[in-house]
Amino acid sequence: MAANRLVVVSNRLPVVLSRSNDDGWSIQSGSGGLVTAMGPVLRDRGGLWIGWPGIATEDCPDEGRLDNLIREGAGQSGYALKYVYLNKNEIDMYYYGFSNEILWPLFHDLFSNCNFDPRYWDVYQKANQKFARSVIEHTDDDDYIWVHDYHLILVARELRKSRMYCQVGFFLHVPFPPLDIFLKLPWRFEILQALLEYDLLGFQTFRDRRNFLDCVRALHKCRITGRGQVMNIAMPDHEVRVGAFPISIDYKEFADFACSQEVADQAWIIHENLPRRQLVLGVDRLDYTKGIPERLQAFDDALARYPQLRRKIALIQVVVPSRRDVEEYERLKQEIERLVGEINGRYTEVGWTPVHYIFRSLSRRELVAYYRTCEIALITPLKDGMNLVAKEYCASSVDENCVLILSEFAGAAAQLYPNAILVNPYDMQGVADAIYEAFTMAQEKRRERMRNLRSQIRKNDIINWVNSFLKAGIAKNLSDFPHMELFVPKQ
C-alpha cells in the first residue's frame, strides 16, 4: 500500500470557496464524513483530491486567482487539490438533473420522483469525461484512484477508453436499488457496464451489494464467486471485486467534543430553556427521502393516543436548508411547516410547545449539544445509504441515558440492531408506539443499550472503513488482507 499514492475523486473538493461583500474571495476547509475520513489519509501519505470547487465557471474568479485559492486550500488541507471546471449548464444537467432528478430518487426507491430527461444523460456523460480527463492529467498507473458516489459512475469507463490501467475503486454512498426498480432506468445497461469497469465496488450494506449482484445476474450474465465481505465478478479482461463497507464516523472526535466544557455549557442552556420534559431530536437535510412529514404525523399520533406524553415531551426538529431553488423542495418545506403549525395549534398549552422547529444549519457546538442533551433521537428516513446522524448521536451521548429510534430502511439499522428501536417510517402508529416505548424505558435499560451502541460504533469507526476498503482495493489476493499496512491516524 505504501507504494501507491491515493487519489480521491468526488463531485466536490474538500474546500469551500466563498465570496465576500467587497468582491474578494476566501477558501475554507469543508466538512462532512468524507472529508473527515479521507483528509488524514491523504495528509499522512501525500495524496491528491480531484473535484469541482462548487462554483460555476461563469462565476469563478479568474484562473490565476482560482489557482492561488486552491493552492491555499491545499496548504490548509495538507494534500494536493486539483479542480474541475463545470459551467452553469453542466451543473443544471449533470448535477441537478441526472444525478439528483434521476439517480438520487431512483436509488432511494422513489422512482415516481424521477425526471428521465434524455438531455441529462448527454451532459452527465460529458461531465464524467471532464473528471476522467483531470484524473488522466494528474495521475499515473501507479496511483490508486478512489472515486466516490453516484455523480461519477462513468469515470472508470472513460479512463479505460483512454487506455489508463491504474487500479480504480468506487464507493456508493447512497443505497443501490433492487432489480425491479433499477430496470426502470432507461440507461440501465450503460450504468451497469460502467460500474463493472471498476476494480473494486464498495456498497454501504450487504443488502445494497445483493441488489447490485442481482442486477448483474439478470442483465450481464457474469460469473460471480466468493463469499463473505468481498465477492468477485469475472469480466472478459479483468476481475471486479464487490464488497460491503459500512461507512462510519470519527467516534473519538465526537465523544471528546461532547465532553468539552463548551458543549456542556450549551447543553445546560438547552435543558434550562426546556425543563422537566424529555426531548426528542430529529436532524435532517431538507429532502424527501428523510421522512420528515411522516415523522411529524407519527409524533402527532403519539400525542393523541398517549395523552400522558403531553407536557412531558417535546420534539426538536432541525431541518438544514437544501436546494431551495428546486420547487419540489420548497413544497416539502411548506408541508413540514404546515404540520408543525397544526400540531402546535392542537396541543400547545401555557408553558409547553410540543414541536420546536429549527430551519437553519447548526454550528458544530450546537449540534453536538443537542445530541448530548436530547434523551431520544427519532431518525426515520424512508431510505438512507447509512445515516451518520444516528452514529453521531450515539457517540455524543456520553451520559448514555438515552434511546435511538431508527428507521429499518437506514443502512445503519443492520449494524445498530437490536440496541436501537427499529421502526417502519411508513407505519405512523408503529413509530408513535416506539416514541412511547422510548419515553417509558427504564434508565438501566437505556444505559445498557446505549453503551452497546457506542461500543459498536467505537470499534467500527471511520478509520476502520478506510482501512477495509483500501485493503480490499490494493491487496492482490483476498488472503493478503491481514498483511496490508493499515492507516493509523497521528495523535
Annotated catalytic residues are: 173, 384
Q: Tell me how far apart the alpha carbons of residues 197 and 202 are, in angstroms, rounded to a whole number.
A: 13
What is the rounded CA–CA span in Å between residue 379 and residue 387?
A: 9
Close Cβ partners of 394 (under 8 Å, ≥ 6 residues apart):
404, 416, 450, 453, 454, 457
**Closest residue by Cα to residue 456 from 405, 390, 380:** 390
Rounded Cα gap, residues 408 and 415, in angstroms: 11
Strand partners, 377: 281, 404
Q: How far apart are CA 429 and CA 413, in angstroms?
A: 20
Name residues whose C-beta falls within 8 Å of residue 476's C-beta, 6 or more positions apart in sequence.
none
Question: Are the C-beta atoms of residues 426 and 408 closer than 8 Å to each other?
Answer: no
How far is residue 407's CA from residue 388's CA, in Å, rounded to a whole number? 13
Which of 125, 157, 410, 445 shows the shortest CA–CA distance to 290?
Answer: 410
* Number of neighbouring beta carbons within 10 Å of residue 92: 15
